[in-house]
A and B are shown apart, each in its own frame.
Chain A
């Protein structure tokens, strides 16, 4: 990972590739994002919230999509994390948002996920949560953590 300069904490952007179906590396992007935010000396609770929403969305990409990208954008007011994937999409977003609703397979459940809590967890920690999806194409999830 390239070194992070603390002066970048008000102007930073980076994209991370996420491979669908590869559970061995699921979470590696979120570990990197957390470490970047920590090195920028951002407040602990913001680092924690960002890492949690990033991790849940990374798990979703690995679990359901062919591939995806997680984009981290930091400015003086917000930490923005976008999870953009190419995959089956979500036919009914309202249903997918319901706590406890899941289409996860056994593999995902064995990892300790797939209980239908991911999206509600993300909504709980993100100050802005915007989910759009097109069936057969993919899903776009924007999460913003306010710095002020």
Chain B
């Protein structure tokens, strides 16, 4: 679906990337731990997160993430906004919680960028 539809489904506000709403997205990954994002997220997908600092933008850039969706009404810091503008990465913010954000997108056809990880990835 187009990023424009994502915006509508999530009743989201576009903070950066008004000109990118025709971009196609098919997958998403959601986490607040950037190391897990780096381990599992795929290029061209959405990143759903509650973090707002510059490392979120850097991580999205490193992975060629299509757009960042900040959940729970979070907004990027001023530094993050400047960096996202520089690196040309769209940021949307939605008031839905992470679970609702994921669920609403999933029912409309966005799927996880992978369904399961192949092995336990720590924290054990």
Chain A interface residues (CB < 8 Å from chain B): 23-24, 26-28, 30-31, 34, 44, 48, 51-52, 55-56, 59, 98-100, 110-113, 115-118, 120-121, 124
Contact = CB atoms under 8 A, between A and B. Distances in A.
B121 A52 contact: no
A contact patch SS: helix
A121 B63 CA distance: 14
B contact patch SS: helix
Contacts, number: 87
B43 A24 contact: no
The 4 closest A-B pairs by CB, nearest first: A99-B122, A27-B58, A112-B34, A117-B35
Given A48-B43, A56-B38, A117-B39, A99 B62 contact: no
Nearest to B43: A48
B87 interface: yes
Contacts of A30: 58, 62
B124 A121 contact: no
Interface in B12-40: 32-39
B84 interface: no
A23 B122 CA distance: 25
